[in-house]
Structure 1
Amino acid sequence: MNTAQPAGRIDVISDVICPWCYIGKRQLERALDLVERQHLRFTVAWHPFQLNPDMPREGVDRAEYRLKKFGSAERSRQLDERITEAAANVGLEFHLDRLTRTPNTLNAHRVIRLAGQRGMQDAVVEALFEGYFCNGADIGDAKVLADLATEGGLNPEEVTEMLSGDEGLKEVIGADRMARNCGIQGVPSFALQGHVLFSGAMPADEMAQAFRRAWDILKNRAA
């Protein structure tokens, strides 16, 4: 087992309801394996971005929302098919037909923030993605969030207590605003040592090359 210390940190700016963010997570995992073969390791931290910052806190009916956004149910269905196919290419089995709500994701991001503080962020992010895209979970619902966070290793009582108040709300909103102020307009976006490198769920080998090149540039600057 490789016990080398991480060389630096990759920051992922994402939203839990972005399918390309889940696909990008799989590509990132493969990219990290590739750079580790080159004896380079990174830690990963997840940061909030709301695709729908004006979404009501209770969310909305998904079919109605997408009808307004895309103009027709047929167009919505075609997009879901395209995304499902892309997900299958990285080993993910999406069931978007199970989704009935488009949620507000503020509370989901608060859970991810808490997971980061407890050293369980990757597992909790994975549980939220899987719950939403594969099982149709309403991740705008506090009970659902607590259940999924528990799957990722968090204490359900701690999550429930956190969600019953405003803990982390200001920080999540502030981080979302900071991402936009840095020029990020789409997710997933990836940064290395605080430097935004690219956006989009690009193939793992391209990700690995970008991380390797960026790390070499940063290392040379520091020399």
Structure 2
Amino acid sequence: MAKASVNSPSGPASVETLTTRGRKTRDALLDAARTVFEDVGFPEARVELITAAAQVSYGTFYRYFESKEDVFRVLSDQLFEDIHHRGPSDSTLSPAQRLIAANRTYYQAYRRNARLMAIVEQVATFNDDFRRLRHDHRHQLIDRQARAIARWQQEGLVRQSLDPEMAARAMSAMVDHTLYLWLVQGDEANEALLLDTLDQMCLGALGLDQD
């Protein structure tokens, strides 16, 4: 990935070494960068636009980030951490209830991040580094889903004929593409009906009974 020149010989400071004020400035730059990327897209975004939105000098940007690609990578990591975050697991829920709860948490996170997700998907089509980043994050989610499916197979709750990884990949692709068309591309849909249908499709694909 091409990187812009950095004002400091040692490069941007690490997050761990930042002062409280430095963290606030870095957070302001991240917020500003997200706004710029969402407003004008990745190709048209420039460091000058980010610093203007953050109300800091041009040189200040390079104390914290190497380039617009660098700040976009940090934002992408934050986005996927939010989308793939799992809340506390309720042991009293059945597997079907846990699957639906996990789906709904994912739907809500996708909605919060839909505008930035659209940019990430766009960049992944022409930038190899971000394509790998997108793949790595998707693979983490698929691995987690595949482990759950394999566990449910051992418990006799899910069809034994299914390959856990292939099932997780297919379900993830179905959910992701449906949400992308709805929240990013603007396909009209009844929200409650759409989300309930996705839940039922996932349960049906696994043969998982809903209590």
Q: Structure 1 length normalisation: TM-score?
A: 0.23
Q: If you compute each CA radius of gyration, which structure gives the higher value, 1 or 2?
A: 2
Does 1 or 2 have the higher relative contact order (CA < 8 Å, sep 6+)?
Answer: 1
Structure with the bigger percentage of strand:
1
Q: Which has the higher helix share?
A: 2
After TM superposition, the score normalised by the length of structure 2 is: 0.24
